[in-house]
Structure 1
Amino acid sequence: MRRVFLMGLTALPLLAGCAMTTPAAAPAAVVFFTEDSAELDPSAQGVVGDVARQAAAQPEAPVTVLGFADPDGGRAYNRALSAARAENVAEALRQAGVAPARIRTTPRGPVPFEMMPLESRRVEIRIGQVAP
């Protein structure tokens, strides 16, 4: 089962390993993936649509898509998996109307296991913020 969540600005800083100090640094949305998968669940389209509307309200702001993975499977494998996750979300944003020139993808690879595995298998979408 795949899960997609839109997290509030106060929930994400509670996740260990995130480099966030204030709610202003929180992502616009977070999409979660199943283990060893970069495939977006159809329910992710609602999240992508919400982010596309937010991006439309800020037409000059960059849209940063950060991909993450858990540490199982090795660093190189998870770097590639996090890149595929970020690119799949970026493609969904492009299809939802976000200009390709505004979107930057950044694979972050594996994150420490102090996080729950589901929380590690994610893509963060940020509007108007460069990657931390």
Structure 2
Amino acid sequence: MNRRLMLSAALLPLVAACAELDPLFVRDPANLPHPVIFFTEDASTLDDAAKATIREAAATAGRFGDARVNVFGYAGPVGGAAFNRQLSDARAQVVAAELRRNGVASERIFVVPRGPVAFDMAPIESRRVEIRFASPAPRPPQ
């Protein structure tokens, strides 16, 4: 696994805990490290580790009640573009459904299937979903 991805996944609970203790620590949820969920080849099912990562992400989303939760799905280049677009969407949808089961409101979740990625990535890095928090869209003046 890519060291940067491992580090960002490992830091998420720490940064989230600091944000809980001091809300001024992280003012913009977009600055949080983004959790990554990895999948086995040609699959879109969640294992226990993935569900735990999603629970932590849902808890973080709960601390930033207005934040958007963008769910980016990826697949590898093997198997054809159409197949991999469907697979990346299926992976993102299963993560979004688990986020909803863990209390994140549907209107805050935005699924973005990215399809196949480049050949130069390690296979495990291409079979992933990233959860990225984003600042809410500005509200129009009333």
Same fold judged by TM-score > 0.5? yes
Q: Corresponding residue for 1:93?
A: 99
Tell me the number of residue pairs that the alignment of Structure 1 and Structure 2 aligns: 113
Structure 1 Cα separation of the partners of residues 84 and 95 of structure 2: 16
1:7 corresponds to:
6
Q: Aligned to 1:39, what secondary structure does the other structure show?
A: coil
Q: Which runs of 5+ in 1 are unaligned?
A: 1-5, 12-23
1:23-66 deviations in Å (ceiling 9; x for gaps): x6675200000000011112212101110111011100100000
Name segments (4+ residues, structure 1) moved above 3 Å: 24-27
Q: 1:55 to 1:79 in 2, by over 3 A?
A: same
Partner of 2:15: none
TM-score of the aligned structures, taking structure 1 as reference length: 0.78
Contact 2:9 2:34 in 1 (8 A): no
SS of residue in 1 equivalent to 2:7 = coil
More helix by share: 2
Q: 1:34: which partner in 2?
A: 40
Q: CA RMSD in A?
A: 2.2
Name 1:116's counterpart in structure 2.
122
- Alpha-carbon distance between aligned partners in 2 of 1:120 and 1:92, rounded to the nearest angstrom: 21
Question: What's the CA shift for 1:129?
Answer: 5.7
Identity of aligned pairs, percent? 50
Structure 2 unaligned blocks of 5 or more: 11-29, 137-142
Computing the radius of gyration from Cα coordinates, the structure with the larger value is 2
Q: Deviation at 1:89?
A: 0.3
Task: Work out the CA distance in 1 between the residues paired with 2:31 and 2:120.
Answer: 21
Q: Secondary structure at the match of 2:131?
A: strand
